[in-house]
A and B are shown apart, each in its own frame.
Chain A
Amino acid sequence: AQSVTQLDSQVPVFEEAPVELRCNYSSSVSVYLFWYVQYPNQGLQLLLKYLSGSTLVESINGFEAEFNKSQTSFHLRKPSVHISDTAEYFCAVSEGGTGKLIFGQGTTLQVKP
């Protein structure tokens, strides 16, 4: 069965520092990979996705993630974080065909001034 592991439950970081949120998945078939962001008491918003093609994908607000098939990873990075990036981040995987995403446990990014 598919599974997604987010290796850190909380990541504290100072403003303007770089950050990496780690995500590993297990699957024996081709997958689609996603990062979602959730602000307090709100639904999830799509941050970025990997469906095919270039293994490096970027979002409009400076985040990027790289699909590494050999390491079955899809880590999320940002070179310089802002206070407004404080939120919970979820990695998710789908084997395609339906929207039945398997989510990781979530990583809370805490950006400190």
Chain B
Amino acid sequence: DGGITQSPKYLFRKEGQNVTLSCEQNLNHDAMYWYRQDPGQGLRLIYYSQIVNDFQKGDIAEGYSVSREKKESFPLTVTSAQKNPTAFYLCATESGANVLTFGAGSRLTVL
């Protein structure tokens, strides 16, 4: 089945550690997105990539980094510079006409 796989589903991190969230898709979509979700704040765009080897900062990119070496993969690294990383992270692809398909999400908790 075509879809988006995010892993891990739950992740715990100690302060000062970098962590990487995986996002893999087999939908053959060019554009991929990372959103952060916090209670009562909706979703905010972290980074997006419209084509391999290219990506752009979203509204809250500070403390995060991404890469896009393959069409299928768009990993997100939460660095120690991100001061409040505890959140639900959602990866999405675009199928055209701005319609997004989302993965199941990864929940990051900082201990």
Contact = CB atoms under 8 A, between A and B. Distances in A.
B104 A43 contact: yes
Given A98-B48, A100-B45, A105-B42, A46 B99 contact: yes
B24 to A, nearest CB: 14
Interface of B: 4, 6, 31, 33, 35, 40-45, 48, 50, 58, 90, 92, 94, 97-105, 107
Given A32-B98, A96-B98, A44 B33 contact: no
A49 B101 CA distance: 13
Nearest to A33: B98
A100 B35 CA distance: 10
21 contacts: A34-B99, A41-B105, A41-B107, A42-B105, A43-B104, A43-B105, A45-B102, A49-B99, A51-B97, A90-B42, A94-B98, A99-B48, A99-B98, A99-B99, A100-B58, A101-B45, A101-B100, A103-B44, A104-B42, A105-B41, A105-B42
